[in-house]
A and B are shown apart, each in its own frame.
Chain A
Amino acid sequence: MSTNLADPTRLATPPTFQAVSLARRIKNGFATTLVWGAFLVAIIPLVWVLYTVVQRGFPVILDGDWWQKSLSGLLARQQGGGAYHAIYGTLVQGLVCGIISVPIGIMIAIYLVEYGGRSKLSKATTFMVDILTGVPSIVAALFVYTVWITYFGFGRSAFAVSLALVLLMVPVVVRTTEEMLKIVPDELREASYALGIPKWKTIVKIVIPTALSGILTGIMLALARVMGETAPVLVLASYAPFINYNLFDGPMASLPLMMTNERNNPTPAGFERIWGAAITLVLIITLFNLLATVISRALAPKTK
């Protein structure tokens, strides 16, 4: 040992540590390229879509009339008018759907996580929810048409649209709520029981508040999904170029349906309306997501 003391930089044995080998550097470079490549493949179309929508749609929505007027009484080639009728339709159909779906979805998730355990009913429910998740919107629309309109004899209306959207939204709400409730640690439930707090109160006052920010994000994503649906509105309400405030009767537009409808309009006016409706829908959904983020932040468990 004493010989080493003379020159601490000189090693008595071959070095233990070596530079990164060529093989590892090649593998690393390959993996890095793959990851970056996948990132670009995903991001380029996204940015492209967003750019196109903004570039073509933005000038249209700058007009104040866009937000206040419908297309009532306008010929296809006539410029002007607005999307108020479709904005109203999208919002009210989505909102009614949300009001029905959120409590149902949350209660199903509470049953699955807190009460169902591994029971047969719980397994069957999970299975059904999984199947519903994969149901195409046109199937949901035709199902509601069969039951609500053909069997029960109600007319075509925005409410029927909302019912079809409920079928699409409930499974998403159930899935996200279930995941959020599952990650609430059991220690919190036990701490609550140990204070003599009954189970239902533990769920309402401890478990749900802890998971609330995640649940809200899930609800907003589900809402964004159903507000982009065309088929249910086409089948169950059909397009109206005028404003229809009546939820239970008559045709009512929505932004996606307005776009579908204007695709048959080959004039510049039609072109403008399609892109205007597109950017309006994107804006509404962005706004909802921002709102969800703000509320989630405010409600999320804090440590500071």
Chain B
Amino acid sequence: MAKRLDIKDLNLFYGKFHAVENVSLAVPPKNVTAFIGPSGCGKSTVLRSLNRMHEVAPGARVEGKVLLDGEDIYASTVDPVEVRRTIGMVFQRPNPFPTMSIRDNVVAGLKLAGMKNKRELDEVAERSLRGANLWNEVKDRLDRPGGGLSGGQQQRLCIARAIAVQPDVLLMDEPCSALDPISTLAIEDLITELKKEYTIVIVTHNMQQAARVSDQTAFFNLLGVGQPGQLIEVDDTEKIFSNPGQKATEDYISGRFG
């Protein structure tokens, strides 16, 4: 199930703008890697390049390699649709499909890929909702629209939807930034649970969150406006937060920047 990701000499562009420069890092399986850094340093861009979502933006371009268990997801023979089915993603703002019920939202990926067996779909829905710690809250209203849930529940619904297709890697782009502390705690607990089965990469602005949930932390920084973002250092979370190797990292996590 869970696979490792190796990023090699990744350079990302939006048109002529060089957004991220020379990122190389390894994401071990069944492990949570956190991306931290100031706004605009390219951590979300890097995350989106890990399941080929970066190229959805007009003019966006990728150079370098991203290897999933040794297989380059940017090889010319690879179908981006397959990549996204294998590497799931949860976004900053909860985005359930407004026309679908809670159940249909969860199984949307499978249903639209052609799975028709209703019993099987129901099983997947239950398993995924349980996996996202949402089952008990919604089991009596699976046919109600997903848009009627609270923000935190919607975000867990989106996580259930992402794990329903059984990806090898789960990418999370600031999944708690639109949520209150209680919902955030629920998601963080969930991440710790999911780690047993999935390889997880999470972008967060909340350094306590990075310290709480991740095993490995990567710090990105921006040298100046208009310059590409760079990966400053990546290490065990404990080490980054107690004894970082770079001065810039220490300044950032202790609140001394600018």
Q: Could you list which residues of chain A lie within 8 angstroms of chain B, going by C-beta atoms?
A: 117-118, 185, 187-198, 201, 205-206, 209-210, 212, 299, 301-304
A298: shortest Cβ distance to chain B, in Å?
11
- Residues of B near A304 (CB, < 8 A) are 144-145, 148
A248 to B69, CA, bound (A): 65
CB of B85 within 8 A of chain A? yes
Known: A196-B109, A302-B147. 14 other contacts (CB 8 A): A117-B58, A188-B98, A190-B89, A191-B91, A193-B84, A194-B51, A194-B53, A195-B108, A195-B109, A196-B83, A196-B84, A206-B108, A210-B97, A299-B99
C-alpha gap A193/B85 in the complex (Å): 9
Q: How far is the CA of A193 from the CA of B97 in the complex (A)?
A: 12
Contacts of A209 in B (CB 8 A): 99
What separation, in Å, do the CA atoms of A191 and B165 have in the docked complex? 13
Q: How far is the CA of A195 from the CA of B113 in the complex (A)?
A: 9
Chain B interface, number of residues (Cβ within 8 angstroms): 30
B151 to chain A minimum Cβ distance, whole angstroms, is: 12
Decide if B84 touches A194 in the complex (CB within 8 Å).
yes
Task: Give how many A-B residue pairs fall within 8 Å (CB-CB).
Answer: 84
Per-position binary interface string of chain B over residues 88-105, scored 1 when its CB falls under 8 Å from any chain A CB and 0 otherwise: 110101010111000000
Q: A195 with B148: in contact, given A188-B97, A190-B91 (CB under 8 Å)?
A: no
- Once bound together, how far apart are the Cα atoms of A206 and B84, in whole Å? 17
Q: Out of A188, A189, A206, A301, which one reaches B145, CB within 8 Å?
A: A301
**B113 x A197 contact (CB < 8 A):** yes
Q: Is B43 at the interface (CB under 8 A from chain A)? A: no
Contacts of B223 in A (CB 8 A): none
Chain B interfacial positions (CB closer than 8 Å to A): 51, 53, 56, 58, 81-86, 88-89, 91, 93, 95, 97-99, 108-109, 112-113, 144-145, 147-148, 158, 161-162, 165
In the complex, which residue of chain A has the Cβ closest to the Cβ of B112?
A197
Contact residues in B for A185 (Cβ distance below 8 Å): 95
Enumerate 28 A-B pairs (CB-CB under 8 Å) in ascending A order.
Answer: A185-B95, A187-B91, A189-B56, A190-B53, A190-B56, A190-B91, A191-B95, A191-B158, A192-B97, A192-B108, A193-B56, A193-B84, A194-B89, A194-B162, A195-B84, A195-B85, A195-B161, A195-B165, A196-B109, A196-B113, A197-B81, A197-B112, A205-B112, A206-B97, A299-B99, A302-B147, A303-B147, A304-B145
Distance (Å) between the CB of B167 and the closest chain A CB? Answer: 8
Min CB–CB distance B155 → chain A (angstroms): 12
Residues of A within 8 A of B113 (CB): 196-197
Return the 9 tightest CB-CB contacts between A and B, nearest first: A196-B85, A301-B98, A195-B109, A194-B89, A187-B95, A303-B147, A209-B99, A302-B145, A196-B84
